[in-house]
């Protein structure tokens, strides 16, 4: 299969690229390598894929030195002309859309870039799928869409009408936009709501990296809501496993869908939504203690009130993914943290 992978320099995109290449697919990876966080980490991820920074300093199009079926193109999602041209030229079979402006708190301070990347950029991807007979579009949503919902576990049949950050609102909008294109143009689309992904090559603005950095450096580790939060931390390998399963199985119309009692996770159109999470949530303090044990060092903690945009608890109901794709999480928190810490100590020597 020929696959467009957006956000290839990102945390999840990098790992998905490795999996797709290993499975023998031809991958065209795109990214704009913005400076939301340290670009050196993004370049180092690409270097692991055989895409050298030396070439990227000269060219926007690079073929991997290690994987002949992998090509990289530097482009922004907001550039409608270039995205349209890319779809027309390459004629993809599948699209795995993981690129987005991420970060809950950053969206409070910089709202415009979220609309440009997550709304306008996603529209350009949908238009590319519309005009080029894409077999399946899989895109990244987020557990953040559940917002004020406190019913646990969180199910794709639950309401997502009360987001608490603009980031979450843009992800909710993506799901609605995808449904409209599935309905109007019969494009199979599947949205994946990721639950607190962690692991090697993770984003430095996410809690596992912030915790490990504070512990290693001896700086203050800020613990919000006084540690009284629960998260469904999910190891990157399990996320990638779920994505690769779903990508190769285009969404179908739900023959049992009832417009009088509509199921929010399916439709009369070829449209689906799934949670991808560990389904074994842990308390925040337990997660921090696991990192402390793995690093053999205690953190200097400062307990603070909850931050704007944060939700108290996440807990994924993944029964649909289990039944339809035999999806199982194989990585325990202890094992996943050890892998993450080993990479962290090696990378940040």
Catalytic site positions:
167
Query: Residue 197 in 3-state DSSP?
Result: strand
Written as six digits, the tokens of 260 are 């009088």
Q: How far apart, in whole angstroms, are the C-alpha atoms of residue 303 and residue 269?
A: 47
How many Cα neighbours within 13 Å face the side chain of 164? Answer: 15
Could you tell me which residues are beta bridge partners of residue 139? 97, 191
Distance between CA atoms of residues 47 and 60, nearest Å: 15
Residue among 337, 304, 314 nearest 236 (CA): 337
Q: Which two tokens stand for residue 329?
A: 């999480």
What's the CA angle centered on 227, arms 221 and 229, to 5 degrees? Answer: 130
- For helices 11-22 and 236-247, the axis angle rounded to 10 degrees is 60
Peptide bond between residue 161 and the one before it cis (omega within 30 degrees of 0): no
Beta bridge partners, 136, equal: 94
Nearest CA to 104 out of 169, 195, 183, 26 is that of: 169
Residue 21 CB partners (closer than 8 Å, separation 6+): 27, 49, 67, 69, 70
Q: CB count, 10 Å around CB of 183? A: 16
Evaluate whether 199 touches 236 at the Cβ level (below 8 Å).
yes
């Amino acid at each position: 299969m020929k696959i467009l992978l957006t956000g290839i320099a990102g945390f999840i995109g990098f790992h998905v690229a490795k999996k797709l290449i290993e499975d023998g697919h031809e991958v065209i990876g795109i990214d704009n390598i913005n400076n939301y966080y340290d670009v050196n980490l993004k370049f180092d991820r690409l270097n692991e894929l055989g895409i050298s920074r030396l070439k990227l300093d000269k060219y926007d199009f690079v073929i991997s030195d290690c994987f002949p079926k992998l090509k990289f193109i530097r482009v922004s999602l907001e550039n409608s002309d270039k995205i349209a041209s890319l779809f027309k030229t390459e004629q993809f079979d599948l699209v795995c859309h993981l690129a987005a402006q991420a970060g809950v708190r950053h969206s409070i301070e910089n709202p415009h870039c979220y609309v440009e990347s997550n709304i306008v950029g996603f529209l350009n991807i949908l238009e590319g799928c519309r005009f080029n007979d894409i077999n399946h579009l899989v895109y990244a949503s987020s557990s953040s869409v559940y917002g004020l919902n406190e019913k646990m576990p969180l199910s794709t049949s639950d309401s997502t009408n009360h987001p608490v950050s603009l980031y979450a609102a843009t992800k909710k909008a993506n799901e609605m936009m995808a449904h409209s294109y599935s309905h109007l143009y019969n494009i199979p689309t599947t949205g994946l709501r990721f639950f607190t992904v962690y692991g090697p090559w993770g984003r430095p603005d996410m809690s596992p990296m912030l915790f490990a950095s504070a512990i290693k450096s001896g700086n203050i580790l800020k613990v919000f809501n006084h540690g009284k939060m629960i998260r469904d931390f999910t190891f990157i390998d399990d996320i990638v496993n779920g994505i690769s399963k779903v990508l190769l199985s285009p969404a179908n119309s739900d023959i049992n869908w009832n417009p009088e009692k509509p199921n929010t996770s399916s439709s009369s159109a070829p449209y689906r939504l799934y949670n991808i999470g560990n389904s074994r949530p842990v308390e925040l303090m337990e997660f921090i203690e696991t990192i402390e044990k793995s690093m053999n060092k205690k953190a200097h903690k400062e307990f603070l009130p909850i931050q704007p945009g944060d939700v108290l608890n996440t807990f994924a109901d993944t029964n649909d993914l289990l039944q339809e794709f035999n999806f199982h999480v194989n990585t325990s928190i202890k094992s996943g943290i050890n892998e993450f810490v080993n990479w962290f100590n090696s990378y940040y020597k």
